[in-house]
Chain A
């Protein structure tokens, strides 16, 4: 009977899942000649789980180039890609270079990680006169990136702000241009929407500030961190409202208990 019972009731066991992670350590080096930008991407998986469908995509000078897709990048595996992009910038100076590493986990859930650098085209300009600071903070569905931009030069500057986000987050405005008076600062907020970011994850994003001054192009890269935390809702109500309702009910019950005869 013992044997029979053992057979009968031990059905349908599944394997327990253990948390693991993918961590791509990515380096990007770039050098521009008069007509060409050469970018070299190296990425090593320092996590404890293989990454899949790994592919680097580089954007510079309005062009986007994709590297070869590697079907599997094992733990400590290395991904390398080299890009040659034709560059025909109007002005010499410093320009942004955006690298997006696309990859997926074992369930083919897609992720992306950003790196933003600058490269110098023809002449190296003096240090940028624009300073920026960002804060994003924590959000779930909709968030905002708050930017503080300071013009430290003696000229009024027209600054183009480009928001670069991983594909999990969608900016409400991808670009915006502003004017900043000499020695002045401006605060602005740009909306972000959570498209497919997972709760508990932190995503790096960038605001790229570009302007022209004295015949030179300048770029300032402002990094920011968005932390995604699912907000607790019950029947669509936030905890604040729930606590108010709860307190209201408790007070009503207590008052009724005391005063009702």
Chain B
């Protein structure tokens, strides 16, 4: 019964008026920065961290955590409305969300994203509460070969992301992986592929890359089509909330997404982001109509959106239990704990239970606040579609610029973004999907590191990847998925060639 006593005390802390206010401020800011393309949760937390120095540590953590999971709620909005992910974890939501909006179903898409986020968010808090300690120990068992194998598995789902040619999406994934090599080589300690530019010293920034490829290129593409009437104008907006049918279609996706997101979120390095990709692939794989994915099916929104919210919850586990941050936002929260004179690590939960339980309880409240906050906003967001381009586009450009700059306060990042804007424009014009590129980019760095670390430990023997059960199963699965996706593609190509001959 310790659990309930602790939770009760947690609620006592988080239900005080001042903490409710901080929780509300956090989730509100989180929603807003999630909606603004470019300004990610980590930039916002970095910006607001210094303002929390004068408040009590638990209030500070409640607010900063609220920004983080609030941003996961808001992130889907621009993906659905204008095909620009509000933050990285919403890249996959563009695939079907934007298509739904084009069919006049922006409301249900936004609605299911909000409900899915709420359900997944709440489930992940339950998981966080019950499973935090045992799971963090499991995560530690993952050595370098296991990480590499899991990353391979992650990358093999590329073949399910493609809307057109499998080869094109593999090409994009390879480009993404190659881009991830830019920057400091941790093993040799030397910068590589950075053209001697200081801005590329840490590699290509995810935010400039994302905002360039999606945001800037979207603006370019639309400016080009300015003479044509905008499709969305003519489509009538049908309904603001998901129908019973929508609910039936997405219930399974939400639950599966929650589970996937929670467990993948625990692993270091963008768990929320990867889990949204995996969830999309799973939904497509088990769907009765996989061919409809990418044309605006609601499961394609419900699954990934649930996954990234659950992933946000899972990410707190290594932070609270071990004091190990699994992404940049968590590293900032770790900094916040230290600044408030707390020692993050295995003793935090014993020495300062009020921090852990107060934050957990506030996350229940915060998730409810987010739902209440987001549902009425759907009506407003849908109206964004009616804003004339001459106003909407300069705004998008401006926010992308601010977002790229504010991550590191480095003006050169805006140039990096413009470069990728031009690249994204060309790629999209020639029918290359961008989602596999992002997946490759995010996984590439960690995959390479885990690969090289494994080989250092095994003294160069590749057998290390098949030596232990977790890694061998994951490797086998990855190879199977890759081959099974490629064979039909090869077959189709051969048939076409033969047809052309005959």
Are the chains A and B members of one assembly?
no
B residues near A (Cβ < 8 Å) are none
